[in-house]
């Protein structure tokens, strides 16, 4: 049962696609304090709280303060309150009561989940304007399904997007891309995508190609496609200000950019230098920007990633001028320490400066609205721009799309990656812990940058991360400029990487099938154990996941480990894969176990009464068969597994 | 067996106090490559590497690159190579070979321990000048003992320093300190120390008191001592430049400060604003600075902590001037993004700027030496200044001393705390993982800031951290300006905190006894399991420790956990403490177990054939009895435990 309540006068977000009648009366479960702009809930000792999508800390969100405020902050340490996304859906979970709540507002919301007081959850608002959906159901997953039903069907990528993709900021030339393809193929490691980060563009101008670095781009796209590799370029939110650049000129003449209070287009700086931001919230601007993707689909591109769309702002012209004026007041002075810190912080806070987000306005549903009031739906509407356009540009075939910034609603148009993480073991764990919350909020096509984007990876971290990443729909190895090169073929144990990636391809029939069933039936792809098993221990497990109907995962996420503890809520069959066709099966009893796993081994647990179909190996997704599957079964027949198949590319 | 080799012409560090004859020939185990300035070792698959003292990552250091380069960097994330200390001792550990190596040089050393190549350890040098000690022995702990023997006896603090201490940056007035004492005592939580951070000083001037905030300081010290509380003030490395400030004037006239190449005293800025740094490497300056502690011991102070002694440098006058000149070149320009980043980084790198460490010189053992060549022994010599002075100022009674920066050798004069950590669960784990390496390198009186210094703590993190912290010799709750207040009495579950701290006091007879035996016999206080147990699993345990002869610890270090897995290499007796006198005993069999532990419970494992003596509760260390102990035994008699006792204050 879903009940919708309204506080104040909310700005619509289009996150919910179903009309639900407003309920009168007070919001159940919560005390509503209009004065304090707060909804408060008493938490029982054993209440757990799940959800909130892409955030730091554990699967159970209890014990921390989360703030929905999309932020380009690459240091995802435990003390952070906000990452790139605002996904305001959560479930309070216990034996006594389990219910869901969705806070629908584009503004800033704080979720104090037992942080200030262990037994209090406080949801507080900058503006007390929101639609509040309270969802009851028979189980946590039922509640999720009801919620997913009202927010609309999750995005479906082309099936080839379940292949492996290699990325780097940046492969600077076509030859560098060819080299990556060559080396992967020479190493016998299948690969389906190579990502083009910002340097493929002509001076970071959206929808352009650096012709010097990538001569005859349409031919190059074709050449790579003939090798089974999709090129997936990045699209950034800012449009370079440059006379003669058609996108810029159209944007100006079409009045498509966000404006300052005085009506001038905001001048910000991101990768291209000075830019204007398209007003993705304005229907005409969204349609215009979306239509530009056709420039690239026309040359054969079939997938994109949208970036920098919180939006990240290196600086605004106005603020930078203010800063230089302030710097003058420091110069030549005998700076006290606090003054020096003031000076240092002034510069440190130029980028993504909070005040800058109040400097510009949107034209949204006929109203002029200051950016900070709708900040969290900016990236969502960029993804929507693409998604809406793709339906016209490519009415028959699916286009790959995922984004850095997101908000519920964006899940209908694309997936996400978990932002600019680090090559930290703790970020592998975070990746694991984020997946169920992303399933709850509809972001099914998602995954983290395998191996970590920033910082230097180690081979063992990359192996372990890949061994988890093969289970996430988005399976991409990506790393930043200045960090250790991270392509699998650059390391010592190439056979181990090959076996891991091969196993991914062997798993595709299962992954795709479970993915599609989750999309079409509003189910979760990744689940916390307690969504299926009702014992206390299951509700406390923070490092194991259920994946689809058949599998439990227990990834290894610590340095130098050659095994880990695993909790089994029931008997399961452990498959210890050394490669897709070299594995041991062992039935493990319900309970606690220490399971060994060498660096080149991947553990998968098949649930009782379930089946894991496996394909033959392939050189790429073009080659994955749906016939000729083998089956690993635990007290089940192969025929009991309902394999979803389709052509993998037609829109459905 | 210890063999000493020499490469190049090393600058002495005084880390080793015993004369050991130089061996001829090549350094065993390693390939020496003079050209590459590298010692290289092939690592077998099962080799583990322990040591390096205060560093990030696990107990087993394999898989990362560590650089000895004392750094004031508060973000101790996994990708960092250097923290505040350089403790260049490590043990290569396996069934085939186990040996120790100590690299004695004050310069920069890199330890690539299977990072670049999984099977290669490379020790590389900025300057190929070092004394290399290679240590063989029957066991890892024998090797540690041999090493500890040559570096001299570890520091012995007064016994009251085993009490609990509360700190904050800063308690600003005497009344705030009184309030802390009042509230602890009202909450029935014993407390022995309150730390005074930088604001007790008059404008951050070393060895001064802010008379307005702390009127009649000698009386105040007495008043607090009468309440059983030692005030422990901070001493920073920089001496404020201020006419009329006696320490500054003496330093100038005595020629005690570090100098630029042109002979002028270096002008740097830290908390007091502009300062000169004493040349702690110069005997006269060290003696002079050390003698100043008497200003505070004369008014009854009996303990200190030395800070900012890497040294941290907010800016140097010369560099800041250069920066402002460079800023002028940016102003008014249409900044490209890379230029903007250049500008931003210019300011971000003002503090602790690498070039600044090459701007000044020491007078060390009769030579003028540029700072960067002896950087890592600067903080050590500040601690040494204090320690050498204390022997004169207080020839009979011990004085408490611990430091932020350190180098082996400093362990003879004081302990350390593990620097400016964060309120992160991962930093609780890091605290656990650092303790054995600190034992190896002689830093026995050590511990981390309980609850974390920076970031906002949560109650559960503070409870779990305290439940581990009661086992570390330095048991201090410390937190930074601007973070959530962190005194135990500010939280909801005061009884749990009271029970935890009471248990600390009950443990003091054991802790002190084990501490003193470790000091006097060159043994380790905290050990990895594999130093006692030779099974493979023990060598992989990263989150359990042996403490002294009787105990194994298995702390809980994850959010929302109500238990954890524990590996027992043999049968042990689990003591589940709810308070010092409310506990269950249970014999747990060798093997793997999931052990429940509520937030208010503390787990201790007593080893077979061993005894844990416990004292009655006390209101503070003045009150801890050594008579009237009770004993928890596991297949042992109370009499088999050798309890070390002394008066706790006389020098020995």
- The pLDDT tens digits for A299-323 are 999 999 999 999 999 999 999 999 9
Cα A297 from chain centroid? 23
Residues 117..136 of A with a Cβ closer than 8 Å to B: which? 117-118
pLDDT tens, A131-175? 999 999 999 999 999 999 999 999 999 999 999 999 999 999 999
What was the pLDDT predicted at A631? 96
- Which of A651, A503, A649, A602 lies closest to A159, judged by CA? A649
A565 to chain B: which residues are within 8 Å by CB? 565, 592, 594
- Banded model confidence at residue B618, pLDDT cuts 50, 70, 90: confident
Number of CB atoms found within 10 A of residue B299's CB: 16
At A73, give phi and psi (nearest 5°).
-130, 110
Whether A32 and chain B come into contact, CB under 8 Å, resolves to: no
Q: State the virtual CA torsion across B157, B171, B280, B240 in degrees, nearest 10.
A: -160
pLDDT tens, A23-80? 999 999 999 999 999 999 999 999 999 999 999 999 999 999 999 999 999 999 999 9
User: What's the CA gap between A436 and A541, in Å, rounded?
Assistant: 12
Residues 488..507 of A with a Cβ closer than 8 Å to B: which? 492-493
- Which of A619, A617, A596, A612 lies closest to A186, judged by CA? A619
- Banded model confidence at residue B627, pLDDT cuts 50, 70, 90: low
Compute the nearest-CA separation of A245 from chain B (Å): 17
User: What's the CA gap between B268 and B276, in Å, rounded?
Assistant: 6
pLDDT at A237 over 90: yes
User: What's the CA gap between A425 and B212, in Å, rounded?
Assistant: 49
User: What's the CA gap between A552 and A607, in Å, rounded?
Assistant: 7
Compute the nearest-CA separation of B424 from chain A (Å): 6
Whether A630 and chain B come into contact, CB under 8 Å, resolves to: no
When CB atoms are compared, the residue of B64, B335, B423 closest to A458 is: B64
**Which parts of A49-207 fold into alpha helices (H)?**
140-151, 174-186
Q: State the virtual CA torsion across B536, B542, B547, B551 in degrees, nearest 10.
A: -60
User: What's the CA gap between B5 and B17, in Å, rounded?
Assistant: 16
User: What's the CA gap between B141 and B441, in Å, rounded?
Assistant: 12
User: What's the CA gap between B315 and B321, in Å, rounded?
Assistant: 10
CA dihedral over B325, B326, B329, B335, signed as positive or negative: negative
User: What's the CA gap between B182 and B542, in Å, rounded?
Assistant: 39
CB contact under 8 A, A324 and B332: yes
B459-469 vs B425-440: helix crossing angle, rounded to 10: 10
At A459, give phi and psi (nearest 5°).
-65, -40
Strands A449-450 and A476-477: parallel
What was the pLDDT predicted at B336? 83
For residue A583 the two structure tokens come to 């594995």
Number of CB atoms found within 10 A of residue B438's CB: 28
pLDDT at B50 over 80: yes
pLDDT tens, B293-350? 999 999 999 999 999 999 999 999 999 999 999 998 888 777 888 899 999 999 999 9
Helix (H, G, I), strand (E, B) or coil at B7: strand
User: What's the CA gap between A615 and A634, in Å, rounded?
Assistant: 18
pLDDT at A621 over 90: no
* Stronger pLDDT, A621 or A283, i.e. the higher one: A283
What was the pLDDT predicted at B240? 98
Whether B559 and chain A come into contact, CB under 8 Å, resolves to: yes
- Which of A477, A513, A521, A527 lies closest to A615, judged by CA? A513
Name residues whose C-beta falls within 8 Å of residue A238's C-beta, 6 or more positions apart in sequence: A206, A268, A270, A271, A272, A275, A276, A277, A308, A311
Extended strands (E) in B57-129: 64-68, 85-86, 89-93, 98-104, 109-113, 120-125
User: What's the CA gap between A87 and A125, in Å, rounded?
Assistant: 15
Size of interface A-B (CB pairs under 8 A): 164
pLDDT at B617 over 80: no
Whether B63 and chain A come into contact, CB under 8 Å, resolves to: yes
- Assess contact for B575 and B612: CB atoms under 8 A: yes
User: What's the CA gap between B127 and B143, in Å, rounded?
Assistant: 27
**Residue labelled with tokens 């147990």:** B533
Extended strands (E) in A393-540: 400-403, 406-407, 415-417, 446-447, 449-450, 476-477, 526-527
Whether A344 and chain B come into contact, CB under 8 Å, resolves to: yes
CB contact under 8 A, B273 and A350: no
Q: What is the average pLDDT score of chain A?
A: 97
- Banded model confidence at residue A624, pLDDT cuts 50, 70, 90: low
User: What's the CA gap between B335 and B342, in Å, rounded?
Assistant: 10
Tell me which of A55, A60, A78, A118 to substitute to probe the interface with B (most B C-beta atoms closer than 10 Å).
A78
CB contact under 8 A, B48 and A560: yes
User: What's the CA gap between A578 and A596, in Å, rounded?
Assistant: 13
When CB atoms are compared, the residue of A327, A337, A456 closest to B273 is: A337
What was the pLDDT predicted at B625? 60
Whether B544 and chain A come into contact, CB under 8 Å, resolves to: no
Helix (H, G, I), strand (E, B) or coil at A249: helix
Cis peptide upstream of residue B373 (ω within 30 degrees of 0):
no
pLDDT at B138 over 80: yes
What was the pLDDT predicted at A474? 98
Q: State the virtual CA torsion across B583, B584, B585, B591 in degrees, nearest 10.
A: -110
What was the pLDDT predicted at B626? 59
- DSSP structure class, residue B60: B
pLDDT tens, B367-393? 999 999 999 999 999 999 999 999 999
When CB atoms are compared, the residue of B79, B540, B542 closest to A422 is: B79
User: What's the CA gap between A570 and A534, in Å, rounded?
Assistant: 11
Whether B359 and chain A come into contact, CB under 8 Å, resolves to: no
- Per-residue pLDDT averaged across B57-71, rounded? 98
- Assess contact for B21 and B133: CB atoms under 8 A: no
User: What's the CA gap between A270 and A268, in Å, rounded?
Assistant: 7
Whether B215 and chain A come into contact, CB under 8 Å, resolves to: no
Helix (H, G, I), strand (E, B) or coil at B165: strand
What was the pLDDT predicted at A363? 98
User: What's the CA gap between B232 and B548, in Å, rounded?
Assistant: 27
pLDDT at A623 over 70: no
- Per-residue pLDDT averaged across A90-114, rounded? 96
CB contact under 8 A, B344 and A331: no
Query: In chain A, what percentage of residues exceed pLDDT 90?
Result: 96
- Banded model confidence at residue A625, pLDDT cuts 50, 70, 90: low
* Stronger pLDDT, A616 or A486, i.e. the higher one: A486
User: What's the CA gap between A109 and A121, in Å, rounded?
Assistant: 13
- Per-residue pLDDT averaged across B104-111, rounded? 98
What was the pLDDT predicted at B623? 65
User: What's the CA gap between A319 and A351, in Å, rounded?
Assistant: 10
Query: In chain B, what percentage of residues exceed pLDDT 70?
Result: 99
- Assess contact for B440 and B528: CB atoms under 8 A: no
- Which of A384, A158, A405, A156 lies closest to A290, judged by CA? A384
For residue B170 the two structure tokens come to 């800063």
pLDDT tens, B432-471? 999 999 999 999 999 999 999 999 999 999 999 999 999 9
Cα–Cα distances (Å) from A221 to A173, A191, A236, in that order, read: 13, 15, 20
pLDDT tens, B562-586? 999 999 999 999 999 999 999 999 9
- Assess contact for B587 and B620: CB atoms under 8 A: no
């Amino acid at each position: 049962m879903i009940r919708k309540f309204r506080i104040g006068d909310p700005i619509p977000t289009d996150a919910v696609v179903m009309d639900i009648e407003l309920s009168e009366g007070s919001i159940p479960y919560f005390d509503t304090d209009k004065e304090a702009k707060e909804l408060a809930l008493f938490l029982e000792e054993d209440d757990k709280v799940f959800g909130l999508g892409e955030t730091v800390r554990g699967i159970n969100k209890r014990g921390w303060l989360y703030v929905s405020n999309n932020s380009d902050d690459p240091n995802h340490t435990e003390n952070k309150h906000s990452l790139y996304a605002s996904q305001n859906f959560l479930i309070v979970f216990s034996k006594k009561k389990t219910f869901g709540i969705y806070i629908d507002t584009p503004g800033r919301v704080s979720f104090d989940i037992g942080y200030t007081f262990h037994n209090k959850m406080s949801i507080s608002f900058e503006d007390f304007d929101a639609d509040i959906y309270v969802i009851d159901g028979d189980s946590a997953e039922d509640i999720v399904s009801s919620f997913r039903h009202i927010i609309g069907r999750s995005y479906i990528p082309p099936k080839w997007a379940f292949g492996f993709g290699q990325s780097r900021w940046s492969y600077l030339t076509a030859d560098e891309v060819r080299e990556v393809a060559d080396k992967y193929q020479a190493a016998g490691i299948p690969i389906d995508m190579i990502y083009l980060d910002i340097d493929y563009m002509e001076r970071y101008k959206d929808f352009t190609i650096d012709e010097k670095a990538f001569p005859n781009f349409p031919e190059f796209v074709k050449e790579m496609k003939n090798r089974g590799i999709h090129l997936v370029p990045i699209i950034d939110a800012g449009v370079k200000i440059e006379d003669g650049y058609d996108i810029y000129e159209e944007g100006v003449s079409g009045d498509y950019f966000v404006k300052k209070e005085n009506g001038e287009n905001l001048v910000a700086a991101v990768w291209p230098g000075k830019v204007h931001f398209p007003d993705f919230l304005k229907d005409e601007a969204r349609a215009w920007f979306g239509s530009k993707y056709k420039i690239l689909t026309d040359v054969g591109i079939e997938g994109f990633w949208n970036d920098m769309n919180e939006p990240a702002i290196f600086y605004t012209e106005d603020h930078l001028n203010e800063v230089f004026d302030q710097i003058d007041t420091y110069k030549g002075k005998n700076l006290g320490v606090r003054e020096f810190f003031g000076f240092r912080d002034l510069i440190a806070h130029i980028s993504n400066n909070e005040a800058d987000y109040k400097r510009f306005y949107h034209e949204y549903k006929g109203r002029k609205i200051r950016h900070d009031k709708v900040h969290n739906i900016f990236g969502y509407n960029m993804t929507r721009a693409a998604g809406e356009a793709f339906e016209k540009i490519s009415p028959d075939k699916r286009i790959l799309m995922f984004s850095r910034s997101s908000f519920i609603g964006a899940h209908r148009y694309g997936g996400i990656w978990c932002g600019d993480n680090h090559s930290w073991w703790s970020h592998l764990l975070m990746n694991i812990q984020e997946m169920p919350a992303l399933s709850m909020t509809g972001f099914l096509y998602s995954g983290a940058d395998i191996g970590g984007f920033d910082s230097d990876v180690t081979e063992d971290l990359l192996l372990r991360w890949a061994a988890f990443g093969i289970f996430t729909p988005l399976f991409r190895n990506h790393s930043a400029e200045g960090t250790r090169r991270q392509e699998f073929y650059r390391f010592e144990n190439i056979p181990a990487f090959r076996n891991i990636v091969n196993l991914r391809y062997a798993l595709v029939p299962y992954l795709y099938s479970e993915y599609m069933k989750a999309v079409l039936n509003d189910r979760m792809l990744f689940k916390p154990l307690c969504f299926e098993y009702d014992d206390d221990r299951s509700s406390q497990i923070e490092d194991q996941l259920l994946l689809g109907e058949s599998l439990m995962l227990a990834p290894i996420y610590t340095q130098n480990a050659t095994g880990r503890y695993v909790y089994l809520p029931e008997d399961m069959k452990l498959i210890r894969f050394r490669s897709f066709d070299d594995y041991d099966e062992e039935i493990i009893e319900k309970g606690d176990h220490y399971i060994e796993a060498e660096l080149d081994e991947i553990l998968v647990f098949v649930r009782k009464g379930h089946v894991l179909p496996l394909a033959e190996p392939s050189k790429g997704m073009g080659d994955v068969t749906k016939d000729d599957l083998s089956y690993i079964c635990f007290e089940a027949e192969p025929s009991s597994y309902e394999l979803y198949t389709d052509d993998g590319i037609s829109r459905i």
